[in-house]
Structure 1
Amino acid sequence: MFDFMYDLPEWAMFAVCVLLVGCLSVAALVLMGALRRLWPPGAHRPNMVSTMLSGILLPTGIVIAFVASDIWQQDAKGRTAVEQEAIAVADTLRIVKFLPADLREQVTGVLDDYIREVIEHEWPLMGDGRSSQIAEDQLETLMVISVRIETGTDQIVLQRAAEALRRYTTDIENARNQRLLASHGRVMPTKWVAVLVLLFVAACVLSELHMSHRRPLALSLALFSLGFGATLYLVASFDRPFTGTTIIEPTSLSVLLVRG
């Protein structure tokens, strides 16, 4: 629903969210003004009671809180997966030290290629919910190497090292799968529609309450747009853990590549 915003600078994304709520407020003002002409309030001009505003803002806040909670949980899952992947790679690098020189060089080369592929190519792909087949193949290569070492030697030390290599490669695969799953996380359009409808209704109530007083009307709608626009910006910017200005960076993997 907000796909176009993730290519914008941070300030522009904030401005779009504020303008979006502002447009809802203007639409609500126009609707309530037209409704007054078509259905006048009567001689006594009774207004909506102020408790109506708090009554609509409460479910609005609850719905936004639920959406934000889902987003931040998804973001936390993505960050945890990245850290677990880096830990598994670091464990694999420690095991490699117990392998013969030729095998050690081969495994280290595959690991370095995997980290570079993930950082340079898979990370941008995750913004669109895609993954790198090359990274997948490199993990399969590591698994084949570990099985080949384990079944091709009688040395207990090499067998144990190969077994650990296979186990840590599996850990890398599991962490990568969790990272890729987190990259697919999106807020459902129905949730965004519900939030926008509730904001529109709240703007309608504000417009009706202050329709007869221009200054309070303008100030209340402007502050309403700014406040809830900032809220939408905060929620939307964390909607995709591997996209936009709040992207999860591969810092821990980059550190391992430098150390290697």
Structure 2
Amino acid sequence: MFDFMYDLPEWAMFVSCVLLVGGLSAAALALMYALRRLWPPGSHGPNMVNTMLSGILLPTGMVITFVAADIWQQDAKGRTAVEKEAVAVADTMRVVKFLPADLREQVTGVLDDYIREVVENEWPLMGEGRASQIAEDQLETLMVISVRIEAGTDGLGVQRAAEALRRYTMAIEKARNQRLLVSHSRVMPTKWIAVLVLLFVAACVLSELHMTQRRPLILSLTLFSLGFGATLYLIASFDRPFTGTTIIEPTSLSVLLVRG
């Protein structure tokens, strides 16, 4: 629903969200003005609107809170998955030191290629909800190497190193799968529609409440647009942890690549 915003600079994304709520407010004002002309308010209209304002803002805030909570959870899952993947890669690098020189170079080469592929190619692909098949193949290569070493040697130390290599490769794969799952997460369109409808209704109530007072009307709708526009910006910017200005960076994996 907000796909076009993720190609914008951060400030432009913020302005777009404010303008979106401002557009809803303008539409609400036009609707209530037309209704007032067609159906003039009675003497008890303002009291009803005053009561309804607090009644509509409460569910609006609750719905936005629920949507935001889902966003924070997904963002936390993404960051945790990246850190677990980096830890598993670091553990693999330590285990490789106990392998014979020829095997050590082979495993280190595949591991370095995996990190580089993830950082340089898979990270941009995740913004589109895709993954790198090359990274997948490199993990499979690491698994095959560990199994071949484990089955083809009689040395206890090398066998245990191969077992650890297989275990840590599985940990890398598990963390990567979790990272890719988070990259597919999106706020459902139905949730966005519910939030926008509630904001529209709240703007209608504000418009009706201050229709006869120009200054309070303009100020209330402007502050309403700014406040809830900032809220939508915060939710939308964190909606996709691997896309946009709030992207989760592969810093921990990049550090391991430099160390390697």
- Normalised by the shorter chain, which TM-score bucket? over 0.9
Question: Which residues in structure 2 correspond to 1:65-144 (within 5 Å)?
Answer: 65-144=65-144
State whether structure 2 residue 178 is matched by structure 1 residue 181.
no
Q: Distance in 2 between matches of 1:31 and 1:145?
A: 68
Letter in 1 for 2:45: P
3-state secondary structure, aligned to 1:187: coil
Question: Which residues in structure 2 correspond to 1:88-237 (within 5 Å)?
Answer: 88-237=88-237
Deviation >2 Å, runs of 4+: none
Letter in 1 for 2:106: Q
Contact map agreement 2:49 2:208 (CA 8 A) in 1: no
| Residue of structure 2 equivalent to 1:23 | 23
Contact map agreement 2:143 2:169 (CA 8 A) in 1: yes
Q: Distance in 2 between matches of 1:245 and 1:51?
A: 40
Structure 1 segments unaligned to the other structure (5+ residues): none
Normalised to the residue count of structure 1, the TM-score between the two structures is 0.98
Deviates more, 1:217-226 or 1:46-55: 46-55
The percentage of counterpart residues that share the same residue type is 85
Shift of 1:109: 0.5
Provide Cα deviations, 1:50-95, integer angstroms capped at 9, x if missing partner: 2211110000000000000001100000000000000000000000
Provide Cα deviations, 1:164-214, integer angstroms capped at 9, x if missing partner: 000000000000000000000000000000000000000000000000000
3-state secondary structure, aligned to 1:50: helix
Q: Distance in 1 between matches of 2:158 and 2:40?
A: 88
Normalised to the residue count of structure 2, the TM-score between the two structures is 0.98
Contact map agreement 2:67 2:191 (CA 8 A) in 1: yes
3-state secondary structure, aligned to 2:56: helix
Letter in 1 for 2:181: L
Contact map agreement 2:92 2:165 (CA 8 A) in 1: yes
| Residue of structure 1 equivalent to 2:56 | 56
3-state secondary structure, aligned to 1:246: coil
Contact map agreement 2:49 2:205 (CA 8 A) in 1: no
Q: Distance in 1 between matches of 2:35 and 2:169?
A: 66
| Residue of structure 2 equivalent to 1:46 | 45
3-state secondary structure, aligned to 2:249: coil
3-state secondary structure, aligned to 1:129: coil
The Cα RMSD (Å) is 0.8
Letter in 2 for 1:140: E
Contact map agreement 2:86 2:253 (CA 8 A) in 1: yes
Shift of 1:41: 1.3
Count of aligned pairs: 259
Letter in 2 for 1:46: G
Structure 2 segments unaligned to the other structure (5+ residues): none
Letter in 2 for 1:250: P
3-state secondary structure, aligned to 1:211: coil
Shift of 1:45: 6.8
Q: Distance in 2 between matches of 1:41 and 1:248?
A: 52
Q: Distance in 1 between matches of 2:45 and 2:144?
A: 78
